[in-house]
Structure 1
Amino acid sequence: MTGPSSSPPTEDTPRHYGLGSRAAAVLVFGSSAAVLVVEIVALRLLAPYLGLTLETSTTVIGIALTAIALGSWLGGRIADHVDPRRLLGPSLGVSGAVVALTPAVLRSTAEWAPALLLLIASLTILLPGALLSAVTPIVTKLRLTSLAETGTVVGRLSGVGTVGAIVGTVLTGFVLVSRLPVSGILIGLGALLVVGSALVEWRTRRWISTAVLVFVIIAGGLATRVAPGACDTETRYHCASVVADPDRPSGRTLVLDGLRHSYVDLDDPTFLEFTYVRAIASVVDASFPEGEPLAAHHLGGGGLTYPRYLAATRPGTRSLVSEIDSGVVRINRDLLGLRAEAGIDVRAEDGRLALRGLDADSRDLVVGDAFGGVSVPWHLTTVEAMTDVRRVLDEDGLYVANLIDHGALAFARAEMATLGEIFEHVALVGEPTEIGFTNTTTSEGGNMMVLASDRPVGIRAIQEALDARQTGWKIITGDDLTSWIGDARPLTDDHAPVDQLLQPYSPPSSQ
């Protein structure tokens, strides 16, 4: 007969640390959700400084995945050598403090030491991401009481963590960002993590460390209030502000993510500040009889500069504007004097989807002026998108679009090749140095205009209109344009590497 053994557990015998299954699930769920909240919000914090591009998104996602891998590996390894109960509180608390400080740190770095922004941003994602990802292996260690249930415990907690990540993603994308400023989201999340740390540490009475973390949260909130780079409004897609023109009392500039997107004169909608808008007006005015009302569809709204111009110069014009950002729509109504009677119907919708809902041959004019940062959203650039544009235009209809490109102008060349697949007549308008009037092979970057129609383009009339508005731009078509396009491939829904075609750039000082 043998009694119970009094020998200490061996390395192969899991020890029971007394963490309840509900507490374990809450810790894993919450920490996994927090990692995804930080990842998504970090993209919005960086967009005003790095641009909302595929490269920015890829960088942030890559750093977040690195943090998850590093935290999972180190958390499990350390939990095998240190009492796991001593690790949970610090992991939650330190990550909470870093998260709360992130808005102030990133915005201050962007303004005062921009060369360090990518490094600091990486650390503010990597550190809390790794600490929070370490929670799952630590909790798993605490929950293992028998080798016989290893698979059940690991599988259950892995599933709970995945569900937490899903909830964090959906909650942030559909609820938090639309209702709260990004700084508020991160400070609130940091506070929740510190509260979680305090609850975990409660039994050990480590109140001194908790008080320090609470102080950091408060400091983070105060620092965010005075940090540079704050927005007038944080919309679903942009950090937005409206800046008054000191030289023109009724002039307003809409700034999205640090870039001047639109200039609006509240008293005189015919005043066009940006050169590219004057170019659009020149092309359209030369292509349609003076004062004739038009049925127009605008892909992208911004400050609605050109729809306002059409309403003022062509009474009776009906402009349907598809602006994906409802926050920008509100800014137009609240701060930029948009009136309901102006004949401008602004809808918060995706431009590509809006095109599908329009009747065939229903528009005289389609204007493309949609941007994410400095690039046109790729799904508005393809053969399939241009096929929809052609469908909604009548037989004399005109498509005009604003592009920004730089370097070898690979994107602009590809877009012209795309238009040539759909329309009989295409032309390019831009600075002489950009569109082949000189022998330069690279560009400092800037705006240019593409136009397409199934009727002949009035080259001479358009050039005269461009000259009359003192744009300094030229127009090319025919063999000259074919030579300029070269062997560029048309863009399709299956292959449209717009972000890769756009070379590294310095944002133009003006538009």
Structure 2
Amino acid sequence: MPDRALKANGWAMLAASVTTAGAIFVLRSLSGPVITAVPDPVISIIVLTGLVFFLPSFFAGIPAPILSMIAVHFHADRRGRALGAMFAAGAWGAILGTLAAGFVFISWLGSTGTLVVVAAVYAALGLQSLFAAGSLRGAGLGGVAVLVPVSLSFGAMNMPDPCTVESNYFCIRVIDTPSSAGGLTRLMVLDHLVHGAADQADARAMMTPHAMMLDGLARLRMEDRAAWSAFFVGGGSYSVPRGWHALGTPVQITVAEIDAAVTETAINAFWYEPGDDRIIHADARQTLSRESTRYDVIIGDAFSDIAVPQHLITREFFELVRARLTDEGVYLMNIIDHSDRLDVLASLITTARAVWPSVEIWAIPGHDPTETRRVFVMVAGEGPSMRSQIDHEGPMPLAAVRVAAASIEAILDSRAPIVFTDDYAPIDRLLGDRGDG
């Protein structure tokens, strides 16, 4: 019976090797159709993850009960200890595997390299199990079967990489597009969304609505200052700091960008020259907590997919931001929400109002009704902005307006906004829930 069990275990591990090696092909072939067919980002991630990793997980899970049965068979007088040892080994394997994948393999090998290594380990364990079963014929067939994951792994390693740079956090892509003036515009895509853009010829040009509003609103609020300071929560393509340098804006810039690869890409591909800018590769909340420096402007522009990370939207974080602002300082925050829902917008307004006496929402007028998402910028401070419209000239002339107070109140009154806290900040659910309620 143990020999038969070991044979079954060997073939299960070889099946896990084949499906793991093939996962990269499944991912690249299905990601586009799934994201297109399933508009809800959370559901699309769940569906895609299931399609790609269900079979590898299924086959990799088969050995646990088989090996437990074998351990009990050979240690019948110590069944409890044998089962306990197997469960302990499984728990340690899960913990160490998770840590190694996130902090070692992805960092050094990337996602494709990690899958190749895992497939190789599965194949080796499968062959070892077949040899241990004493089945030379099975081991020979297993050796032939190993050619399948080897071929798939070789093919995966030689496939064109969709990422210009694969970092610990993102698949970073740099996409060139012609500008209206005949020059070159570059887009920074993190995973599957554009997070920044820059024009080669004109550093002052803000190529996205959110960059235009963050740039214009910060300068509007500081226009009477001879010099001021700004702290950026997230760097992205660094288009706003680059534009301020080109304008000669009298600002001292600090950027907290958690992903050093994003900064490196901005310097190498988006024509950003740091100069005297202070760049910290760390979490922005931790940076603000450690340091007591106060800033005239703090700009929140950090995103994980379309949602701001939860720890950067809570009342506690806003209280920290207010403590790090000067007396007349202002906090600007980029917000993305579904134009037909606005639950996230309403909750962020409510949360900010619990901290600041003045909270404004700015947007680009004339929004295309076919667009399912809309970009806003929240302005929170001790008092209102002195104007209700800003204009930006350049390759993409834009105007932004302050949303009327009556419209804001109507949004809040027609919803049940949440005060986001460190204990409860369900922004992913609010973005993902597209029901009619």
- Alpha carbons of structure 1 residues 353 and 477: separation in structure 2 relative to 1, 3 Å: farther
**1:453 aligned to which of 381, 386, 390:** 381
8 Å CA contact retained: 1:294, 1:318: yes
Deviation of 1:214 (Å): 2.6
Q: Find the residue that maps to 1:502 and give its secondary structure.
A: helix
Q: 1:359 and 2:292 equivalent? A: yes
Deviation of 1:290 (Å): 6.6
- Alpha carbons of structure 1 residues 214 and 290: separation in structure 2 relative to 1, 3 Å: farther
Deviation of 1:322 (Å): 0.9
- Alpha carbons of structure 1 residues 464 and 236: separation in structure 2 relative to 1, 3 Å: closer
Between the aligned residues of both structures, percent identity stands at 23
Alpha-carbon distance in 1 for matches of 2:419, 2:49: 36
Q: Corresponding residue for 1:276?
A: 210
Q: Find the residue that maps to 2:122 and give its secondary structure.
A: helix
- Alpha carbons of structure 1 residues 499 and 154: separation in structure 2 relative to 1, 3 Å: same
**2:400 aligned to which of 455, 460, 473:** 473
**1:302 aligned to which of 236, 244, 257:** 236
Choose 313-322 or 373-382, whichever is displaced more: 313-322
Q: 1:103 and 2:103 equivalent? A: no
Q: 1:331 and 2:265 equivalent? A: yes
- Matches of residues 437-452 of structure 1 in structure 2 within 5 Å? 444-452=372-380
8 Å CA contact retained: 1:291, 1:314: no
Query: Which structure 2 residue ranges, 5 or more long, are not aligned?
Result: 39-43
- Matches of residues 339-350 of structure 1 in structure 2 within 5 Å? 339-341=273-275, 343-350=276-283
Q: Corresponding residue for 2:411?
A: 484
- Matches of residues 13-28 of structure 1 in structure 2 within 5 Å? 17=2
**2:93 aligned to which of 150, 161, 164:** 164
Alpha-carbon distance in 2 for matches of 1:470, 1:476: 19
Deviation of 1:332 (Å): 2.1
8 Å CA contact retained: 1:319, 1:345: yes
- Matches of residues 16-95 of structure 1 in structure 2 within 5 Å? 17=2, 83-95=4-16
Q: Corresponding residue for 2:426?
A: 497
Q: Find the residue that maps to 2:282 and give its secondary structure.
A: coil
- Alpha carbons of structure 1 residues 348 and 287: separation in structure 2 relative to 1, 3 Å: same
Alpha-carbon distance in 1 for matches of 2:269, 2:308: 25
8 Å CA contact retained: 2:214, 2:332: yes
Alpha-carbon distance in 2 for matches of 1:254, 1:136: 43
Q: Corresponding residue for 2:70?
A: 142
Q: Find the residue that maps to 1:491 and give its secondary structure.
A: coil
8 Å CA contact retained: 1:270, 1:312: yes
Q: Corresponding residue for 1:204?
A: 135
Q: Find the residue that maps to 1:301 and give its secondary structure.
A: coil
- Alpha carbons of structure 1 residues 464 and 125: separation in structure 2 relative to 1, 3 Å: closer
8 Å CA contact retained: 2:328, 2:382: yes
**Alignment-mate amino acid for residue 411 of structure 2:** W
8 Å CA contact retained: 2:390, 2:401: no
Q: Corresponding residue for 1:400?
A: 332
Rg bigger for which structure?
1
Cα RMSD for the two superposed structures: 2.8
**2:309 aligned to which of 357, 374, 377:** 377
Q: Corresponding residue for 2:54?
A: 126
8 Å CA contact retained: 2:331, 2:381: yes
**Alignment-mate amino acid for residue 109 of structure 1:** L
- Alpha carbons of structure 1 residues 148 and 210: separation in structure 2 relative to 1, 3 Å: closer
8 Å CA contact retained: 2:110, 2:166: yes
Deviation of 1:94 (Å): 0.8
Q: Corresponding residue for 2:187?
A: 253
8 Å CA contact retained: 1:240, 1:255: yes
Q: Corresponding residue for 1:32?
A: none
Q: Find the residue that maps to 2:403 and give its secondary structure.
A: strand
**1:318 aligned to which of 245, 252, 256:** 252
Alpha-carbon distance in 1 for matches of 2:103, 2:241: 30
Deviation of 1:242 (Å): 1.0
Q: Corresponding residue for 1:409?
A: 342
**Alignment-mate amino acid for residue 332 of structure 1:** A
8 Å CA contact retained: 2:214, 2:377: yes
Q: Corresponding residue for 1:215?
A: 147
Aligned length: 417
- Alpha carbons of structure 1 residues 326 and 473: separation in structure 2 relative to 1, 3 Å: same
Q: Corresponding residue for 1:241?
A: 173
8 Å CA contact retained: 1:104, 1:223: no
- Alpha carbons of structure 1 residues 291 and 265: separation in structure 2 relative to 1, 3 Å: farther
**1:388 aligned to which of 320, 335, 340:** 320
8 Å CA contact retained: 2:24, 2:112: yes
**Alignment-mate amino acid for residue 266 of structure 2:** N
Deviation of 1:207 (Å): 4.4
Alpha-carbon distance in 1 for matches of 2:223, 2:335: 26
Q: Find the residue that maps to 2:372 and give its secondary structure.
A: strand
- Tell me the TM-score normalized by structure 2: 0.87
**Alignment-mate amino acid for residue 235 of structure 1:** S
Deviation of 1:398 (Å): 1.2
Q: Corresponding residue for 2:109?
A: 180
Query: Which structure 1 residue ranges, 5 or more long, are not aligned?
Result: 1-14, 19-82, 435-439, 506-511
Alpha-carbon distance in 2 for matches of 1:471, 1:504: 31
Alpha-carbon distance in 1 for matches of 2:172, 2:258: 14
Q: Deviation per CA, 1:130-183, whole angstroms, max 9, x where unpaired? A: 222221221122222354311111011111111111111111111111111101
8 Å CA contact retained: 1:427, 1:475: yes
Q: Corresponding residue for 2:41?
A: none
Q: Deviation per CA, 1:91-125, whole angstroms, max 9, x where unpaired? A: 11110111011011111122366659866642442
